[in-house]
């Protein structure tokens, strides 16, 4: 397994799992389509840094998801809208053992024991996590819904047609220090 000091999520990144190094520091295991890395950052740090790399913030991503899906707990996040990268946490991001998943790489998932779930990807290894089928299924469905809504918004075309009926000017009123609209007399 390759070791990295830092990592930015790419389209081929499948999941990020918590891992403690030899000295007990919280680090990550990052699973890509062809590679697995041990990264010297926590899963949450990788999520935050990746969202910032693509031009956003974790707080903004959470607020955006809640605006679209309602005031839900543990919402999915958009890592990069232009690349179509959407992820979701397996549990509260406050927990050190929170795993993060890309919604696009998950083929299916199946319960294997009480509160244990196997997540199968389209390629590569499967991952076993602590979750019920119902909770994980709800998170996957929310992430798909969020991605679909955001991509429709990004690709929809809006046509605005404005035909002014009167001419006007925008004038700065120095005495009041604001702008006003003044109709032109014909």
**What are the distances in angstroms from CA 51 to CA 38, 44, 78, 111?**
20, 11, 8, 31
Predicted pLDDT at 162:
60
Predicted pLDDT at 70:
95
**pLDDT tens-place string over residues 97-151:** 999 999 999 999 999 988 999 999 999 889 999 999 999 999 999 999 999 999 9
Predicted pLDDT at 157:
67
Predicted pLDDT at 10:
97
Q: What is the DSSP string of 24-67?
A: --EEEEEEESS-EEEESS-HHHHHHHHHHHTT--HHHHHHHHHH
152: helix, coil or strand?
helix
Residue 129: enclosing H or E segment and its boundaries? strand 127-130
Predicted pLDDT at 186:
60
pTM confidence score: 0.83
Q: Which of 96, 90, 57, 54 is nearest to 73 (CA)?
A: 90
Predicted pLDDT at 171:
76
pLDDT (tens place) for every residue of the chain, 186 residues total? 899 999 999 999 999 999 999 999 999 999 999 899 999 999 999 999 999 999 999 999 999 999 999 999 999 999 999 999 999 999 999 999 999 999 999 999 999 988 999 999 999 889 999 999 999 999 999 999 999 999 998 887 665 656 566 677 777 777 677 877 777 766
Predicted pLDDT at 1:
84
Please give the structure tokens belonging to residue 94. Answer: 């406050």
Predicted pLDDT at 13:
98
Predicted pLDDT at 154:
86
In this structure, the number of other CB atoms found within 10 A of the CB of residue 156 comes to 7
Predicted pLDDT at 167:
74
Do 126 and 119 touch, CB atoms closer than 8 A? yes
């Amino acid at each position: 397994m390759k070791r990295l000091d830092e990592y930015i999520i790419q389209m081929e990144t499948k999941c990020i799992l918590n891992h403690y190094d030899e000295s007990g520091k919280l680090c990550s295991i990052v699973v890509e389509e062809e590679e697995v890395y041990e990264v010297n950052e926590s899963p949450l740090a990788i999520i935050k840094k990746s969202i910032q790399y693509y031009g956003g913030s974790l707080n903004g991503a959470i607020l955006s998801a809640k605006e679209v899906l309602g005031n839900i707990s543990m919402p999915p996040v958009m890592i990069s809208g232009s690349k179509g990268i959407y992820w979701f946490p397996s549990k509260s991001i406050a927990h050190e053992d929170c795993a993060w998943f890309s919604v696009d790489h998950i083929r299916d998932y199946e319960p294997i024991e009480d509160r244990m779930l196997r997540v199968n990807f389209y390629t590569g290894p499967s991952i076993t996590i602590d979750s019920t089928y119902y909770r994980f299924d709800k998170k996957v469905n929310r992430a798909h819904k969020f991605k679909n809504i955001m991509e429709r918004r990004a690709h929809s075309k809006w046509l605005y047609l404005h035909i002014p009926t009167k001419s006007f000017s925008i004038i700065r009123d120095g005495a009041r220090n604001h702008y006003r609209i003044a109709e032109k007399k014909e």
